[in-house]
A and B are shown apart, each in its own frame.
Chain A
Amino acid sequence: MDLYAENILDHYRHPRNKLPLPAGEGRGLPVRSSEGAKAGEGVEEVTHEEVNLSCGDALTIGLSIKNDHVTGVGWEGSGCAISQAAMSLLSEELVGKSLKDIDAMKKETVYELLGVPVGPRRFKCALLCLHTLKNAVRKFRKEEVRGWSETVGG
């Protein structure tokens, strides 16, 4: 099937949860949450950016986290259709998930969301979202961010 399938293009053209993040990390992050709630008591926030230097794809993810669960997500980015659509698709999965659920996400999770085979040419485009997400969670836990081979497995 075509990498530029209609649902991917739809997410590229109408990205979900894409918000202008404020400059600077973790400040007043505008996130959407399932309950429509603003950052309330016990809610912490983290923002993290990753770029794919080889082509200039860039993504910044912001997460609101309460009791180790994601309560809201927002992102900003630029780049090719695949990187942006994958981020949009993944962002729809996050609210309500525990950080452990995110730990368990693998590259296959993203491939399934995309629903099309991603060849070796484009896997870095497709997986930039997961790489950014995994490192956002690491940062939230005050752990060092990691390289691709550790976050998404090569």
Chain B
Amino acid sequence: MNDKMFEKANELSVQQVDVYTDTRDLLAHARVNARRRGFQDWFICDVDAHHVETVHWHEIIEYIEDPVIREQALMYQKERIGAPPYGLNGDLGLRYQDVGGRIPHQSGQREKTEPGVHRDVTLTRRAMESLGVDVMVVFPTPMLFLGLHPQPEMEVWLGRAYNRWLIERILSADDRIKTMIYLPFNSPDEAVRMVEEFGDAPGVIGFCITSTRHKAVHHNDYMKLYAMIEERGKPLSFHAGYHWQDPSLATVNRFLGMHALGFAWCNIVHMTNWVLNGIPERFPKLKSIWIESGLAWVPFLMQRLDDQYLMRSSEAPHLKRLPSEYMREHCWYTTQPMETHNKKALANTLEMINAETQLLYASDWPHFDFDLPQEISDLPFLSEQAKRNILGLNAARIFGLDTTLRKSL
């Protein structure tokens, strides 16, 4: 007999998280954390979250404009087994993301959803309510590799279909869900057409170039596109990704190494071209956002380019100031995956990029390296105003968002 008084402990309903776990259960601690930090009164915009568009690929391919390709895609989706979704090239790395099942939400989200509301709308709402987010900007996942597809047409066919599907089926269902539409950047004229066609659609707050591609962002072919986007006033984002087949990563054998380098590398290359070719001078009102490369690469590149530029300024004649000044004033950055382990280095990074005005919170939910809003609010070296700016007010300013609080925590 036990001689002490005791209570009986209650078993938690989720003993072990798996791919069927409800987002709200998995993120229950995030919601508690958000409540404790008083986020109910903070406008929070998550500038980079994802959905897995391939789950609804059968819906998306119905929006392919070309009737022959559409028929091909529909037949393929209906009858082929054991092959990836129609038209997608993907990357080898995709099969390692969940670390052998250790991070189930990265493998899949097979939780139950109610009929009558699109599944991706429900999952996005659940994430918003759990993280304490008012506005969530969603991006696709395997389509991030589409810029490497050997057929540039495929990017146009699928990019356009995806944009139409997203606007009609997802964004129209909830005005808290936004996107920056996919631009088929390998086909400049089609990218222009995409801006014209979808640029003013409800929920479209900007334009996205997926960064894994071998195209020179400074090529004359793109000037018309940049001019158009500048005139519209909506930002242009470069969403990073990795590409394990890139020759520069050919010797990297661990996914973690490839992922750590790949996500930064593509944007390092594009930013270098962007700045040294004077795009910010040519289009001074064009707002560029650099997404999902973390932040540590920014001070590195600022220092490298500044030092080299001063020795060889004749090679970058458009520049009237240091490369770092363009990077600080004309470019915005999303936080995730924020390198937090060395707080001193992080403080320095945030100062160098002028985080108070240029930094935008992003979760990257549901990916394995997602960040919570508390990453920002818990930083000891930022003022409350800076934290509020980063978590939502900077995004509100550059996207023209209504800052009415929409969540209930």
Are A and B genuine complex partners? Answer: no
